[in-house]
């Protein structure tokens, strides 16, 4: 027991939680922006994979991880514009096109990687983004190291949470944005540009999901390999539902996933004799438990997932 109460252990656990929760948080926010405008995008995993590759390629060839992250955002927008065009303009089924993205985006990423690097017994290495301790704040004992000495992307992710809260709940633009997801017809009659908002939502979603993918290959590890995303997009998708379509809820959900995952790794390391499958289940069991405990009231945007036809009655 004393192993767990050791300060060093707790500190490493918290740092690990923050690292593991960040990609899930960024991508869950991407989905939040998408679904608030009524666009269910289950293609997050695919967008992440593409963002991870583009981010890696740019960071590898320029030596600038920050440029890589930006490129990842652009890559995410490009991939997601396929989804946006088909679902908004052509009124296609959102789930089907999201799934299509999940199939074709990782395939393109894998294809491009093989063209560039071939098949060798070692992975190409890029530079990793340096941590950027915030002056003054990072010298506060205890909290400084835990909260204020990370890569810029981590600050961005956590800063986005209160910003999104203010946007969605306190600004007129945010309320208009949410109206598109709730009742697009009424929104349109009030002069809110529904189609333009939906496109904007898809661009935000693509950019953030691309950043989430690029985070993996520019801030987390310095290599790209197929499958590096490993289902994080789907976990982010559930984090949105879990967080009841609220920025704060999404943050809590991402942190819960990150914490339980970090914890199960440490439990495995400390008790090698326990079957690992039991410990690997912890993050998912926690989700089930919390969902059952809090109940799933219908909380999502009312017109979520429905195509919008302007002239339909």
Partner 1 sequence: MKQKFMALMMALAMVMTAFTGCSSSTESTSKDTTTENTASEPTAAETEESTPDTVYKVAMICDSSIADGGWGAACYNAMVAAAEKYGFETQYTDGLTSADFASSLRSYADLGFSLIFAPGNQYTDAVVEVAADYPEVSFALLNGTVEADNIVSLLPDAEQIGYMAGALAGLMSKTNQIGFIGGMELDTTKAKLASYEAAAKAVNPNIQVVSAYANSFSDSAKGKEIADSMVTASDVDVMFGDASAVDSGAREALANYEGRYDIGQPSDLLATQESAVVISSVVTDNATLIGLCMEDVKAGTFGNKTIYGNLSNGTLSVGTFSDAVPAEIQTQYLELVDKIKEGTFIQ
Closest CB to partner 1 among residues 202, 262: 262
Spatial CA neighbour of 242 closest among 305, 206, 205, 295: 295
Q: Which of 1, 2, 3, 189 binds partner 1 (CB under 8 A)?
A: 3
Q: Output the CA angle 108-113-115, nearest 5 degrees.
A: 95
Q: How far is residue 247's CA from residue 67's CA, in Å, rounded to a whole number?
A: 27
Which segment (137-145, 156-164, 197-205, 223-231) binds partner 1 by CB under 8 A?
Answer: 223-231
The site string for partner 1 over 225-254 (x = CB under 8 A, - otherwise) reads xxxx-x------------------------
Q: In angstroms, rounded to a whole number, what is the distance separating the alpha carbons of residues 274 and 280?
A: 11
Minimum CB–partner distance for residue 303 and partner 1 (Å) = 22
Q: Does 310 bind partner 1 (CB under 8 A)?
A: no
- Find the binder of partner 1 among 61, 163, 186, 276 (CB under 8 A): 276
**Do 20 and 33 touch, CB atoms closer than 8 A?**
no
Q: Of 50, 74, 102, 34, which Cα lies nearest the Cα of 241? A: 34
Cα distances from 59 to residues 49, 51, 170, in angstroms, run 15, 12, 37
Residues numbered 288-307 forming contacts with partner 1, rule: CB under 8 A: none
Residues lying near partner 1 in the complex (CB under 8 A) are found at 3, 8-9, 12, 16, 19-20, 82, 85-86, 89-90, 92, 100, 103-104, 106-108, 110-111, 113-114, 117-123, 216, 220-223, 225-228, 230, 262, 265-266, 268-270, 272, 276-277, 280
């Amino acid at each position: 027991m004393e192993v767990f109460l050791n300060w060093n252990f707790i500190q490493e656990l918290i740092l690990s939680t923050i690292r593991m929760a960040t990609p899930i948080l960024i991508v869950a926010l991407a989905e939040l922006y998408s679904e608030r405008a009524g666009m269910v995008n289950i293609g997050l995993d695919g967008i992440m994979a593409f963002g991870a590759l583009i981010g890696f390629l740019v960071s590898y060839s320029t030596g600038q991880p920050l440029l890589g992250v930006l490129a990842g955002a652009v890559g995410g927008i490009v991939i997601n514009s396929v989804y946006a065009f088909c679902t908004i303009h052509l009124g296609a089924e959102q789930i089907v096109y999201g799934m299509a993205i999940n199939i074709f985006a990782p395939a393109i990423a894998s294809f491009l990687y093989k063209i560039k690097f071939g098949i060798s017994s070692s992975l190409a290495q890029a530079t990793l983004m340096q941590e950027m301790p915030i002056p003054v704040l990072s010298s506060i004992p205890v909290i400084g190291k835990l909260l204020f000495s990370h890569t810029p992307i981590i600050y961005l992710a956590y800063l986005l949470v209160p910003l999104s809260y203010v946007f969605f709940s306190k600004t007129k633009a945010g309320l208009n944005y949410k109206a598109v997801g709730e009742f697009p017809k009424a929104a349109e009659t009030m002069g809110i540009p529904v189609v333009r908002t939906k496109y904007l939502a898809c661009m935000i979603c693509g950019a953030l999901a691309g950043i989430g993918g690029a985070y993996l290959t520019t801030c987390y590890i310095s290599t790209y390999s197929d499958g590096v995303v490993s289902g994080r997009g789907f976990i982010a998708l559930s984090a949105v539902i879990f967080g009841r379509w609220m920025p704060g809820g999404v943050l809590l959900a991402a942190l819960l996933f990150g914490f339980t995952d970090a914890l199960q790794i440490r439990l495995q390391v400390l008790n090698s004799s326990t079957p690992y499958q039991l410990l690997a289940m912890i993050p998912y069991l926690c989700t089930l438990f919390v969902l059952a405990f809090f109940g799933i009231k219908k909380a999502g945007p009312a017109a979520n997932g429905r195509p919008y036809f302007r002239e339909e009655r």
